[in-house]
C-alpha cells in the first residue's frame, strides 16, 4: 500500500467526512464555551482579588494554584468516573467544559492579576484623586491597561487549553479526535487520523498565526 | 459526607494502590526527564533555525513550530501511536510518547528560546564577535546565559506544562502515574487512587507554580 | 598597517559608502569626523566585518581582512580591537570575567595567564579595584574603560573606536579620553570616530572628514580645523562650533 493510499484514501475520506464535520462543530462550540466562561470567570476572580480581603484572596489563590498544577486529564477522570458515586452524573461535554473552563479561568486570573499589579500606583491614585470610586478606578482605568498587557498571554493560553478538548476522546465526547479514532479502527485505514489533524489545523493554525501577529504588534 | 470521603479519600484503598502508583510515578519521572531534556534541546535548535537569516531554514522551521503549536498533543500522540504503524513504523508506547512529546514540546520551548534570544541586545553578539569569539562561542557564553535569564519564568512554566502533559501517556497504555491510578480505580471501583495521583502531581508541581507566580510578580514590579 | 581600498557598502539599494580609501600607519591616530548618517560607523564596522563590505578590500599588515572566513575571520578579529558607543559589556559576567572571556575562549590562554593579563589591563585603565564588580554597578565612564581593557587584553594591532564618549555624561568623558591618550603615547595604532574636537586637535595625527559616504577631506588637524578647504567641511565645522568658526 502506498503512502497516499494509507494516509489520504479518498474513499475513506468521503465516507467519514460527514461524521467528522459534525465532530468539528462539537469541538468548535465546546472551545467557544470554554474560552468565554474561562476568561469571564478569570476576570471576575482577578477583580475580587483586588479587594484585598483575605477570605476572598485565599480561596482564589488556592483555586488558581491547584488548577494550574494539576494535569487536566486527572481532574477529568475524577469528575467523570468519581462524581456519579455521589449521585452527580455529568455528561462528557459538561465535564470537559467545567474542567477546561476552570483551568483557563485559573490561568486567566493570574494573567489579569499580573496585569493589574503592574499598573503603576500613580494610576490608581490619579483615579481616586479625580473623584472616581474604587470600582470606577478599577473598571475605567486599571482593568483596561491590565487587559491590554495580558492579551498575548491570554491568546496563547486560551489556544493551549482549547486544544485540550481532544481529551474528550477519553470520556466519549464525540469531538474530532474520538470520532476519527473510531473511524480509524472501523476502516482499518490511517486516513481518518489525517483528517483529524487537518481539521485541527483548520481551526487552530489561524489562531497560531493570529497570536504571532499580535505578539509582533505588542513588542 | 462520609460517602464522599469513602469514595475520594479512602485511606485503605490509597494504601493498597500506593505501590502501583509508586511504580507509575517512577515511570512518569523518567518520562519527564527524557521529554524535558529532548524538548529543551529540540527547542533551542528550532529557535536558532527560526532566527536564522537564511530564508530556506527560517521559514520551514517557523512552519514546523506553528504546525505543532496548532495540533493538540494528544492528536500527535495518537497519530504517532496508531497512525505510523500503517506506514510500517511500529513504536513501543514509551517511544511513541517520547517522539510525540518531543515534537510538541520542542515547538513550545522554541518559542520561549526565540523570545529570550531576541531580548538580548544586538550589541552583545557584536561585541563578542569583535573580540574574536566564534558564533558558537558567542551563543554559548554571551547570548544564551542572558536569553535564559530573561525568560526563566516562561521556561519554568513550560516545564510545568510538560510534566502535566506526560499524563496523556496513559491514553496509549503507558503505565505511568495516571494510568496506574486509573487502573487502580477501575479495579477498586473507587476514585481514591485518582485523588492520590492528583495529590502526587500537586506535591511536585505546586512549588513550581508558586515560584512562577512570585517570579512574574517580581518582574512586574521592576 | 590598516588599509581600506575602494570600500563600498550598500544597504539594499541605498549606497552608504562610496569608494572609501583610507590608510592608518603603525602608531598613528586617525580621527574621523562627519555629520550623522555619513557612514562613519559603517566604515568602522566593515573593518572587522561586523558589516559585510559590498566591494573593496581591507588589509591589516598586508593580510586581507576581506578574504577571511570562519575561523580565520575570528582570528583576524583578535587583531582588531573595537570599542562601541554603547560599551556592550556582558551584563551577566563580572568585570574580570568580561576581560577574560575572549582571552580564554578565542586566544586559548590559560585561565591564570588570562587573569593576570586582565588585571594588568584593568590596572592600566585604573579599574583594578572593580575587578569583581558587575558591569551594572559601574558608571558609564568606568564601563567604557572596562570595554577598552577587554579589547586591549587581546593584544590587538589596531584599535577601532566608534564614538566611545557619546553615551557618557560630560563629567565622565575625560576619564575615557585620558585612557585613549595614554594608549596613543604607548604607540597603539588607532582609528577613532568621535565628536570630541578638542581631543582631535590634541591627539590626532590626521583628521578625516566624511560626508555622504565619501572622504571629502583629510589632513593634519591644524589644516582641517584651521584651514578647511571644502565648503561642506566649513559648513560642518560652523554648525558644530558656531562661536569659534567664521
Ligand atoms: N543595518 C542597516 N540597514 C540599513 N541602513 C543602515 C544600516 N546601518 C546603517 N544604515 C544607514 O547607513 C547610513 C550610515 O550610517 P552610519 O551609522 O554609518 O552613520 P554614522 O556616520 O555613524 O552616523 P552617526 O554619527 O549618527 O553615528 C545611515 O543613513 C543609516 O541609516
Ligand atoms: Mg555612528
Chains that touch A (3 or more CB pairs under 8 A): B
B142 C-alpha to center of ligand 2: Å?
24
Task: Please state, as a whole number, how many other Cβ atoms lie within 10 Å of the Cβ of residue C202.
Answer: 12
C200 domain-assigned: no
User: Residue C234 belongs to a domain with what CATH number?
Assistant: 3.40.50.300
pLDDT one-digit tens code per residue, B71-109: 999 999 999 999 888 888 889 999 999 999 999 999 999
pLDDT one-digit tens code per residue, C9-61: 999 889 999 989 999 999 999 999 999 989 999 999 999 999 999 999 999 98
Residues of B in contact with C65 (CB under 8 A): none
* Those residues with Cβ within 8 angstroms of residue C99's Cβ, 6 or more apart along the chain or in another chain: C118, C121, C122, C146, C149, C150, C153
Q: State the pLDDT at residue C246.
A: 40
Q: Is the pLDDT of residue A98 over 80?
A: yes
- Between A and B, how many residue pairs show a Cβ–Cβ distance under 8 A? 144
User: Which atom of ligand 1 is nearest the CA belonging to C40?
Assistant: 21
Average of per-residue pLDDT across C218-233: 88
Report, in this order, helix, strand and coil percent for chain C, each rounded to 5: 40, 25, 35
C49 domain-assigned: no
pLDDT tier, A1 (very low <50, low <70, confident <90, very high otherwise): low
What is the rounded average pLDDT for all residues in chain C? 90
Decide if B137 and C106 are in contact by the 8 Å CB cutoff.
yes
Q: Whose alpha carbon is nearest atom 25 of ligand 1?
A: C36
C201 domain-assigned: no
* Those residues with Cβ within 8 angstroms of residue B139's Cβ, 6 or more apart along the chain or in another chain: B48, B125
Q: State the pLDDT at residue C245.
A: 41
- Kind of pairing, strands C14-24 and C80-83? unpaired
Decide if B129 and C50 are in contact by the 8 Å CB cutoff.
yes
Number of domains in chain C: 1
pLDDT one-digit tens code per residue, A124-175: 888 888 888 888 888 888 888 888 888 888 999 999 999 999 999 999 899 9
Closest CB to C74 among B121, B126, B134: B134
- Kind of pairing, strands C14-24 and C2-11? antiparallel
What percent of chain A clears pLDDT 90, i.e. is strictly above it?
A: 58
Does ipTM come in above 0.95?
A: no
> What are φ and ψ of residue A99, in 5° steps?
-70, -50
d(CA B162, CA B32): 7
Residue of A nearest to B165 (CA): A71
Structure-model confidence comparison of residues C245 and A171, the more confident one:
A171
pLDDT one-digit tens code per residue, B164-217: 999 999 999 999 999 999 999 999 999 999 999 999 999 999 999 999 888 876
Q: Is the pLDDT of residue B2 over 80?
A: no
- What is the 8-class DSSP label of residue C107? S
Q: Specify the 3-state DSSP secondary structure of C189.
A: strand
d(CA C186, CA B200): 68
Q: Is the pLDDT of residue A218 over 80?
A: no
In DSSP notation, B143-182 reads IHHHHHHHTHHHHHHHHHHHHHHGGGGGGGT--SHHHHHH
Closest CB to A82 among B78, B82, B191: B191
Q: State the pLDDT at residue B222.
A: 47
C180 domain-assigned: yes
Helices (H), C67-209: 70-78, 95-105, 111-124, 140-152, 170-185, 197-203
Pocket test for ligand 1, best of C10, C37, C50, C196 (most atoms within 8 A of CB): C37
Pocket test for ligand 1, best of C38, C49, C209 (most atoms within 8 A of CB): C38
Structure-model confidence comparison of residues A11 and C130, the more confident one:
C130
d(CA B83, CA B166): 20
C212 domain-assigned: no
Residue located via cell numbers 475520594? B8
Which pTM does this prediction carry?
A: 0.89
Residue located via cell numbers 568623558? C173
* Residue-range domains of chain A with CATH: 3-218 (1.10.3720.10)
- What is the 8-class DSSP label of residue C61? T
d(CA A197, CA A205): 11
pLDDT one-digit tens code per residue, B53-68: 999 999 999 999 999 9
C100 domain-assigned: yes
Q: State the pLDDT at residue B217.
A: 67
Q: Which residues of C touch B (CB under 8 A)?
A: 48, 50, 71, 74-75, 77-78, 80-82, 84, 86, 88-92, 101-102, 105-107, 147, 150-151, 154
Strand order in the sheet with C14-24: C14-24, C2-11, C55-60, C63-64
Is residue A24 within 8 Å of residue B104, measured between CB atoms?
A: no
Residues of B in contact with A165 (CB under 8 A): 72
pLDDT tier, C226 (very low <50, low <70, confident <90, very high otherwise): confident
- What is the 8-class DSSP label of residue C59? E
Give me the domain span that covers residue C11: 2-41+54-195+217-240
- Ligand 1 pocket list (CB less than 6 A): C 11, 16, 34, 36-42
SS3 track for A92-139: HHHHHHHHHHHHHHHHHHHHHHHHHHHCCHHHHHHHHHCCCCHHHHHH
Which residues does residue C210 pair with via DSSP β-bridges, in sequence order? C215
User: Residue B92 belongs to a domain with what CATH number?
Assistant: 1.10.3720.10
Q: Whose alpha carbon is nearest atom 8 of ligand 1?
A: C42
User: Nearest to residue A35, comparing CAs of A103, A92, A82?
Assistant: A103
CA distances from B58 to B49, B61, B80 (A): 5, 5, 26
* Those residues with Cβ within 8 angstroms of residue A214's Cβ, 6 or more apart along the chain or in another chain: A151, A152, A155
Give me the domain span that covers residue B204: 2-221
Q: Specify the 3-state DSSP secondary structure of C209.
A: strand
pLDDT tier, A219 (very low <50, low <70, confident <90, very high otherwise): low
Nearest-CA distance from B136 to chain C in Å?
11
C96 C-alpha to center of ligand 2: Å?
28
Is residue C219 within 8 Å of residue C229, measured between CB atoms?
A: no
Number of domains in chain B: 1
> What are φ and ψ of residue B55, in 5° steps?
-65, -35
C9 domain-assigned: yes
User: Nearest to residue B129, comparing CAs of C88, C64, C59, C10?
Assistant: C88
Q: Is the four-CA dihedral B149, B155, B157, B159 of positive or negative sign?
A: negative
CB-based burial label for A196 (10 Å; 0-12, 13-18, 19+): buried
Amino acid at each position: 500500500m502506498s503512502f497516499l493510499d494509507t494516509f489520504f484514501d479518498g474513499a475513506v475520506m468521503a465516507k467519514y467526512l460527514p461524521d467528522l464535520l459534525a465532530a468539528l462543530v462539537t469541538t468548535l462550540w465546546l472551545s467557544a464555551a470554554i474560552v468565554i466562561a474561562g476568561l469571564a470567570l478569570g476576570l471576575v476572580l482577578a477583580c475580587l482579588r483586588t479587594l484585598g480581603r483575605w477570605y476572598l484572596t485565599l480561596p482564589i489563590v488556592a483555586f488558581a494554584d491547584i488548577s494550574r498544577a494539576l494535569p487536566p486529564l486527572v481532574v477529568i477522570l475524577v469528575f467523570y468516573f468519581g462524581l456519579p458515586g455521589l449521585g452527580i452524573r455529568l455528561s462528557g461535554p459538561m465535564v470537559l467544559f467545567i474542567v477546561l473552563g476552570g483551568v483557563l479561568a485559573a490561568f486567566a486570573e493570574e494573567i489579569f492579576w499580573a496585569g493589574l499589579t503592574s499598573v503603576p500606583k500613580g494610576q490608581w491614585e490619579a483615579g481616586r484623586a479625580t473623584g472616581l470610586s474604587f470600582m470606577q478606578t478599577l473598571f475605567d482605568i486599571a482593568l483596561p491597561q491590565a487587559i491590554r498587557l495580558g492579551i498575548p498571554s491570554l491568546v496563547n493560553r486560551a489556544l493551549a487549553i482549547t486544544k485540550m478538548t481532544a481529551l474528550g476522546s477519553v470520556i466519549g465526547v464525540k469531538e474530532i479526535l474520538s470520532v476519527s479514532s473510531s473511524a480509524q479502527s472501523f476502516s482499518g485505514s490511517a486516513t481518518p487520523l489525517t483528517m483529524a489533524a487537518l481539521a485541527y489545523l483548520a481551526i487552530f493554525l489561524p489562531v497560531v498565526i493570529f497570536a504571532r501577529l499580535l505578539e509582533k504588534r505588542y513588542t | 459526607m462520609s460517602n464522599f470521603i469513602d469514595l475520594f479519600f479512602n485511606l485503605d484503598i490509597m494504601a493498597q494502590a500506593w505501590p502501583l502508583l509508586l511504580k507509575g510515578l517512577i515511570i512518569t519521572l523518567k518520562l519527564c526527564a527524557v521529554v524535558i531534556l529532548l524538548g529543551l534541546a529540540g527547542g533551542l535548535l528550532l529557535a536558532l533555525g527560526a532566527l536564522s537569516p537564511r530564508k530556506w531554514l527560517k521559514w520551514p522551521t517557523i512552519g514546523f513550530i506553528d504546525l505543532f503549536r496548532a495540533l493538540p498533543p494528544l492528536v500527535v500522540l495518537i497519530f504517532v501511536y496508531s497512525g505510523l504503524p500503517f506506514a510500517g513504523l511500529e513504536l513501543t508506547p514509551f517511544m511513541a510518547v517520547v517522539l510525540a512529546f518531543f515534537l510538541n514540546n520542542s515547538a513550545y520551548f522554541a518559542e520561549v528560546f526565540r523570545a529570550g534570544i531576541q531580548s538580548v541586545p544586538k550589541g552583545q553578539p557584536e561585541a563578542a564577535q569583535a573580540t574574536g569569539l566564534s558564533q558558537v562561542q558567542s551563543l554559548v557564553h554571551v547570548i544564551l546565559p542572558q536569553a535564559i535569564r530573561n525568560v526563566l519564568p516562561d521556561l519554568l512554566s513550560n516545564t510545568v506544562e510538560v510534566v502535566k502533559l506526560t499524563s496523556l501517556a496513559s491514553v496509549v497504555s503507558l503505565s505511568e502515574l495516571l494510568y496506574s491510578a486509573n487502573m487502580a480505580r477501575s479495579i477498586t471501583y473507587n476514585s481514591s487512587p485518582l485523588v492520590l495521583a492528583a495529590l502526587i502531581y500537586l506535591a511536585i508541581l505546586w512549588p513550581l507554580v508558586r515560584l512562577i507566580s512570585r517570579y512574574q510578580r517580581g518582574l512586574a514590579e521592576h | 598597517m590598516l588599509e581600506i581600498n575602494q570600500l563600498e557598502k550598500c544597504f539594499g539599494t541605498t549606497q552608504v559608502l562610496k569608494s572609501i580609501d583610507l590608510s592608518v600607519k603603525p602608531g598613528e591616530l586617525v580621527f574621523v569626523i562627519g555629520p550623522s548618517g555619513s557612514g562613519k560607523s559603517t566604515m568602522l564596522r566593515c573593518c572587522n566585518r561586523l558589516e559585510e563590505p559590498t566591494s573593496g578590500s581591507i588589509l591589516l599588515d598586508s593580510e586581507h581582512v576581506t578574504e577571511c572566513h570562519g575561523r580565520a575571520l575570528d582570528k583576524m578579529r583578535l587583531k582588531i580591537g573595537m570599542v562601541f558607543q554603547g560599551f556592550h559589556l556582558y551584563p551577566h559576567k563580572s568585570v574580570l570575567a568580561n576581560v577574560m572571556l575572549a582571552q580564554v575562549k578565542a586566544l586559548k590562554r590559560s585561565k591564570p595567564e588570562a587573569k593576570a593579563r586582565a588585571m594588568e589591563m584593568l590596572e592600566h585603565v585604573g579599574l583594578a579595584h572593580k575587578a569583581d564588580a558587575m558591569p551594572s554597578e559601574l558608571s558609564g565612564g568606568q564601563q567604557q574603560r572596562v570595554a577598552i581593557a577587554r579589547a586591549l587584553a587581546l593584544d590587538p594591532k589596531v584599535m577601532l573606536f566608534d564614538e566611545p564618549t557619546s553615551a557618557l555624561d560630560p563629567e565622565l568623558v575625560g576619564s575615557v579620553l585620558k585612557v585613549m591618550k595614554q594608549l596613543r603615547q604607548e604607540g597603539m595604532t588607532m582609528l577613532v570616530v568621535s565628536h570630541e574636537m578638542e581631543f582631535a586637535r590634541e591627539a590626532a595625527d590626521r583628521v578625516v572628514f566624511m560626508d555622504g559616504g565619501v572622504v571629502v577631506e583629510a589632513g593634519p588637524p591644524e589644516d582641517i580645523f584651521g584651514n578647511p578647504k571644502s565648503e561642506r567641511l566649513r559648513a560642518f565645522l560652523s554648525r558644530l562650533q558656531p562661536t569659534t568658526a567664521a
